[in-house]
Amino acid sequence: MNPHASDAPIVDVELQPVRPGEEKGSFAAILQDLVFTVDHKKLGLMYFGTGLIFFVIAGLMAALMRYQLAIPNHDFLEPDVFNRFFTMHGTAMVFLVGMPMIFAFANYLIPLMIGARDMAFPRLNAFGFWIFFFSGILLYFSYIAGPGLYDAGSAPDVGWFAYSPLTLKAFSRGHSTDYWTISILLGGIGSIATSINILVTVFCLRCKGMTLGRMPLLVWLYIVVAFLVIIALPPLSACQIMLLLDRFLDAKFFDTQAGGDAVLWQHFFWIFGHPEVYILILPGFAIASEVIPVFSRKPIFGYPVMVAASVMIAFISLGVWAHHMFAVGMVSGANTFFAISTMLVAIPTGIKIFNWLGTMYGGKIRMRPPMLFCIAFLFQFLIAGLTGVMLAVAPFDWQLTDSYFVVAHFHYVLIGGLLYTIFAGVYYWYPKCTGRMLSEKLGHWHFWLFTIGFHLTFFPQHLLGFLGMPRRYYTYDAGRGWDEWNLISSIGVIIQAAGILFFVINLVRSYFKGEKAGDDPWDAWTLEWNTTSPPAEYNFEKPQVVRSRRPLWDLKHPDDPDWKYE
Amino acid sequence: MTLKNGIRSCKNLAVRSLVAFFGLGTLAAQQADDPPIRAIQNIFEPLSTPALKIHETSIPVLLICAGIFVLVTSLLIYIVVKFRQRSEADRHIEPPQVYGSSHIELAWTVIPIIITVVLILITARTIGEIQNAPIPEDAVRIRVVGHQWWWEVHYLKQDENGEWVTDFITANEIHVPVGTREEPKRTHFILESADVIHSFWVPQLAGKMDVIPNRKNELWIEPWATGTYLGNCAEYCGTQHAKMKIRVIVNEPEAFEAWAANQRQVPTTVEPQVALGHKLFMDYACANCHTVDGTIADGVFGPDLTKLMTRRTLGSGAVDNTPENLFKWVRDPQAPDMKPGCLMPDMKMLDSEVKEIVAYLETLK
Amino acid sequence: MSAEELNAGDPQGFINDPSHPDQPWRLPSPRHVGIISLILTESALFSIFVVAYLWYIGKSLNGPFPHEVLHLPIFASVCLIGSSFTIMGAEFALKKANHALFNIWWGITIILGTIFIVYTGLEWHELIYEKGLTISTNVFGSTFYSLVGLHASHVIVGLFLLITVLISSFRGKIHHDHHEHVEVISWYWHFVDAVWIVVLLVVYIISVHADRPIV
């Protein structure tokens, strides 16, 4: 039934004749390889590389916005330019950085971790990547092509959640919003395709002995993420289709003049939008759940509870969307319901944090860069979770929503949570992908600069929210108590940027000069460390067989294997 | 109640030191008889009932969160310090392999559940108290209509059929009477939008409420301190979202009544020395968008100008209402130091014409 | 690692473990998991359009209204729902390796689906040109055409798949061991039919009889 797990001999591609333009190492050959490849590892790295490029672009936009806001009444950016920047920054960070980054890890790691030779549908995998790639190009292309007929500005300027009716023809002329909509529609198709692929891969290609209860937690969490994607992305696609019908065929979905309802967009968008937060953060949890045990030298504490908590988070996250809408004037019953459901998320999330602490407790913690980023993640995600609880208290939210407090909150989630675990994952798996270690010294510079800069930028934004500063302001008056905090926040950006610079230098430099890694530099326990670094195209020479959650532990400790206790 | 007072005094100290650090606001556009400008809108210094209720809800929430934060952070630090790998020699002996413990896990499931239940009870109570409060008979009722990027303000009165109809219209600056904490004076807002979604937010008076086309939202305040409260539009609504500011002027009841009486007065004559300005105002497109009661100008796309000179700012708080700014505004509201992107166009008038129009506008008080 | 290496510690208990070479290791078919995932995601897409339709019942500011222009498409519904049974007949025939019967049942399914889609075309023609309901007339028009249109587009995709299989079958390329491929298409077709039952209920029954907003 399963072609990938068979013992079929591997064809040696080197034997095929070399045609002109296909010499190994030439630019044309590399390009051709990138375009034609269906290898899950190459696609994973391409997701990562593309995500990194978009991350730098969207990050620069953020830096320019912080420069504008450093002092009151600054006239560095015009209002329209600023509005486009925050729209593009938000859209790009969610759809062109967050999504490809999580799929990068999924693509690279899932087949390796379950002992498979590729994803279930390799060509669908390549399709998913390329449709994402072109959706990103399309979004940025709007800067060139957006003006449309009326010369009404270029890139989209409606905010990343694009509340109607601001997006309708009457208020958003030209074609910039059309580019935004079509780009997100395309990206959604790519994400759904990739997620179906993940589900099929995990359910159908596991190596012998790897029951669902023996899968690494990362794989489990990606099942949950893939389920969330296939359930939560279609509402986004649906409301983008409705918006396109409104804009091109004059339909009335969100036309308030014709009885349409502006709040309907918000419901549909956040039915996607809130699970999307978990789609982005669960892979962060997944990476932490792999890194923390290895660097604490202990198995994950309470594996079944971790799985159950993740499933609970995903399940509850489908019923909390309207906590983004406490201020739209819902009836008190609805406000109460969504406040309660939102607070319930805190329970499984708390369990997870305690289980990570339980994993570290009694271990021998190795303070290498991946672990440093994971410890910072625990601290920052704790803050993000607690500010989330504050926002869930609906009356408190009436003050805090749409203020800088919310900006601080979700940057603590997405940077303090997701980005830090991505960094941890990069330091952890870079040796596997390239065969070389990342420099620890540069890694420490990266970690400390970025952490200081991050807190300097985003912690004061909580206080700005308390002092009544709304988000998405291109400028503000002096004397409202906002000046100092904005300045501090902007200074932090410089330090963060320096940290990122160290990271990028480290990535490039270590590729050529890094210390050789060997197959298993961290003395880890999951199957990806049971093959060469970097793995061959077919991943494993022999089909893998596992008997516990930590197959390499069993191999290294035949006297005390895990399967005695599971 | 001592605990509550203790909490309040601690909080006051924290807030005051914060405010002291910021220095005091230096916003102009203040006139001698105006109540003081409250530029620093700290949500923890409420001066009106709903803001106070929110504040009282937020304190236990903040305390619980702070407690959890301290606890978990200490635990994290303790674990990292205690269980660090000490030396390279230590490396080859693995620690005891522990896979989990159902007792411990049960404990850290039950405790968060209890905390969550407490938070839910606090939350549900306040939601009901604010959202379901009945409107007193003597409440001032105001209909606010959000526009890109200014606020249209209708003061309402009851006609003979008991219907609420417009008494008089103004823009951007909302005057309301002050009450006391014992005898509060309610002002009730009905919020509507003419175009896209906005949000009405004056932090020291109440939480924010979105202003949505095709819907009627409601918001109430009961301020007990006079002052000129600065608020903002809090839902992104297009180019000049940042300069869609609100002023709520909370004044003594007598001063409020005097102001309202003046707003109701419709001028009947145009002073002869500004007749040219008046003619220009009507001849250029001004009258298409702006209303001046008692004249043929009855446009509704821009703010009502009948009592323009009683307002302290122009362009919904973009600039102070001084003769110099008024001149610059009428000549070109799109100038970088005015409100670039606003929907009032540069009419390309001669300076002499602008001067005449400004002279006419300055009689509207 | 190999089974022998794992075997070392505990040869006795190992025999009962799924990793033992003698123990069977069965995984679900990728086609089944794939089509179930696709159906899940499509269901989420349809439910949003259904919710939009329900949300806007009775909220159109101007006519035509549902009760004025819609009538229950009984014949078309019987055809589409009947086609779910004929495709099951075809599947059964293929499992029995009866190719002639498979072709007959499969062909009838295509004819029934085509009748349905032709009916929808005629209905839309009448609505647009005689009753004056377009997608931009009112919120009823917008939600009606988007929901029914989304369903019709799925029927068209399904017909395309069905016809592809029939052509292959005539060229002798469908064999007994393709029953899983055929099964996947038939699951999709059942899904499209199930969606139609929901559409029928929501559009042609609930909204025609509701005289005021229900949400």
Of the listed ranges A456-465, B11-20, B62-71, B194-203, the least confidently predicted one is B11-20
Greater confidence, B283 or A7? B283
- C-beta atoms of C41 and A192 within 8 A: yes
Residue A488 belongs to domain with CATH number? 1.20.210.10
Of all residues in chain A, what percent carry a pLDDT higher than 90?
A: 87
- A–C interface: beta-carbon pairs under 8 A: 141
Distance CA A287, CA A102 (A): 10
Contacts of C210 (CB under 8 A, 6+ apart): C57, C58
- Contact by Cβ (8 Å): A531, A431: no
Contacts of C27 in chain A (CB under 8 A): 1-2, 203-206
Residue A26: the pLDDT is: 80
- Contact by Cβ (8 Å): B252, B178: yes
DSSP secondary structure letter of residue A70:
S
Residue A145: the pLDDT is: 76
Question: Which range marks the domain in which residue C115 is found?
Answer: 31-209
Residue B1: the pLDDT is: 37
**Which strand (E) or helix (H) includes residue B27?**
none
A297 is a domain residue: yes
Where residue C137 falls among pLDDT bands split at 50, 70, 90? very high
- CATH fold for domain B1-87+134-264: Immunoglobulin-like (2.60.40)
Task: Indicate the average pLDDT of chain A.
Answer: 92
Query: In the predicted model, what is the mean pLDDT of residues A386-413?
Result: 96
C-alpha of C142 from chain center: 22
The closest CB to that of A542, out of C2, C40, C49, belongs to C2
Distance CA C59, CA A261 (A): 10
Query: In the predicted model, what is the mean pLDDT of residues A247-260?
Result: 93
Task: Indicate the average pLDDT of chain B.
Answer: 89
Q: How far is A540 from chain B (nearest CA, A)?
A: 28
The tokens of B51 are what? 């803001």
Please count the residues of chain C. Answer: 215
The total of structural domains in chain A comes to 1
Distance CA C161, CA C138 (A): 35
Three-class secondary structure of residue B189 per DSSP: strand
Residue B269: the pLDDT is: 81
Query: Residue B76's closest CA among C61, A124, A354?
Result: A354
Question: Which of A396, A397, A403 should be substituted to probe chain B, the one whose Cβ sees the most B Cβ atoms within 10 Å?
Answer: A396
The total of structural domains in chain C comes to 1
Q: How far is A298 from chain B (nearest CA, A)?
A: 5
Where residue C3 falls among pLDDT bands split at 50, 70, 90? low
Q: How far is A501 from chain B (nearest CA, A)?
A: 28
**A537 in B contact zone (CB under 8 Å):** no
Question: Which range marks the domain in which residue A476 is found?
Answer: 11-564
Query: Sign of torsion, CA B278 B282 B287 B291?
Result: positive
ipTM over 0.90: yes
A545 is a domain residue: yes
pLDDT digits (tens, 9 = 90+) for A109-123: 999 999 999 999 999
> Domains of chain B: which residue ranges?
1-87+134-264, 272-361
**Which strand (E) or helix (H) includes residue C214?**
none
Contacts of C17 in chain A (CB under 8 A): 209, 547, 563
Bridge partners of B245, per DSSP, are B232
Contacts of B215 in chain A (CB under 8 A): 262-263, 329
Query: In the predicted model, what is the mean pLDDT of residues A29-38?
Result: 90
Strand segments, DSSP code E, in chain B are: 37-38, 140-147, 150-158, 164-171, 173-177, 187-193, 198-201, 209-211, 217-221, 227-233, 245-251, 313-314, 319-320
Whole-angstrom CA distances from A196 to A120, A274, B153 are: 10, 20, 53
Question: Which of C14, C39, C45 should be substituted to probe chain A, the one whose Cβ sees the most A Cβ atoms within 10 Å?
Answer: C45
Distance CA C18, CA C191 (A): 35
* Calculated CA dihedral for residues A279, A280, A281, A282, nearest 10 degrees: 40
C73 is a domain residue: yes
- C-beta atoms of A1 and C29 within 8 A: yes
Q: DSSP assignment of C56-99, as one string? A: TTT--SSS--HHHH----HHHHHHHHHHHHHHHHHHHHHHTT-H
Residue C4: the pLDDT is: 59
A347 is a domain residue: yes
- C-beta atoms of B22 and A483 within 8 A: yes
Residue A429: the pLDDT is: 97
pLDDT digits (tens, 9 = 90+) for A344-398: 999 999 999 999 999 999 999 999 999 999 999 999 999 999 999 999 999 999 9
Minimum CA–CA partner of A530 in chain C: C1
Residue C12: the pLDDT is: 60
Query: In the predicted model, what is the mean pLDDT of residues A222-241?
Result: 96
In this complex, the chains that touch A, judged by 3 or more CB pairs closer than 8 A, are B, C
Q: How far is C83 from chain A (nearest CA, A)?
A: 27
Of all residues in chain B, what percent carry a pLDDT higher than 90?
A: 78
Question: Which of A2, A191, A203, A247 should be substituted to probe chain C, the one whose Cβ sees the most C Cβ atoms within 10 Å?
Answer: A203
pLDDT digits (tens, 9 = 90+) for A521-563: 999 999 999 999 999 999 999 999 999 999 999 999 888 888 8
Contacts of C34 in chain A (CB under 8 A): 120-121, 196, 199-200
Where residue A174 falls among pLDDT bands split at 50, 70, 90? confident
Query: Sign of torsion, CA A130 A135 A141 A147?
Result: positive
Where residue B30 falls among pLDDT bands split at 50, 70, 90? low
- Contact by Cβ (8 Å): C31, C181: yes
The tokens of B32 are what? 């001698």
Three-state secondary structure readout of A501-555: HHHHHHHHHHHHHCCECCCCCCCCCCHHHHCCCCCCCCCCCCCCECCCCCHHHHH
Minimum CA–CA partner of C31 in chain A: A200
What residues 83-122 of chain A have any CB closer than 8 A to a CB of chain C? Answer: 120-121
pLDDT digits (tens, 9 = 90+) for A502-524: 999 999 999 999 999 999 999 99
Residue B17: the pLDDT is: 43
Please count the residues of chain B. Answer: 365
C14 is a domain residue: no
Which residue's structure tokens are 């007959």?
Answer: C104
Question: Which of A7, A204, A279 should be substituted to probe chain C, the one whose Cβ sees the most C Cβ atoms within 10 Å?
Answer: A204
**C18 in A contact zone (CB under 8 Å):** yes
Pairing of strands B227-233, B37-38: parallel
**A331 in C contact zone (CB under 8 Å):** no
The tokens of A431 are what? 């040796």
**A169 in B contact zone (CB under 8 Å):** no
Where residue C118 falls among pLDDT bands split at 50, 70, 90? very high
- C-beta atoms of A331 and B124 within 8 A: no
A1 is a domain residue: no
Q: Which is the CATH superfamily of the domain at B272-361?
A: Cupredoxins -  blue copper proteins (2.60.40.420)
- Contact by Cβ (8 Å): A202, A215: yes
User: What letter represents residue A230's amino acid?
Assistant: I
Distance CA A94, CA B166 (A): 46
- Contact by Cβ (8 Å): C116, C76: yes
Q: Is the pLDDT of residue A20 over 70?
A: no
**A519 in B contact zone (CB under 8 Å):** no
**A230 in C contact zone (CB under 8 Å):** yes
Minimum CA–CA partner of B38 in chain A: A480
Q: Is the pLDDT of residue B10 over 80?
A: no
Question: Which of B37, B108, B126, B313 should be substituted to probe chain A, the one whose Cβ sees the most A Cβ atoms within 10 Å?
Answer: B108
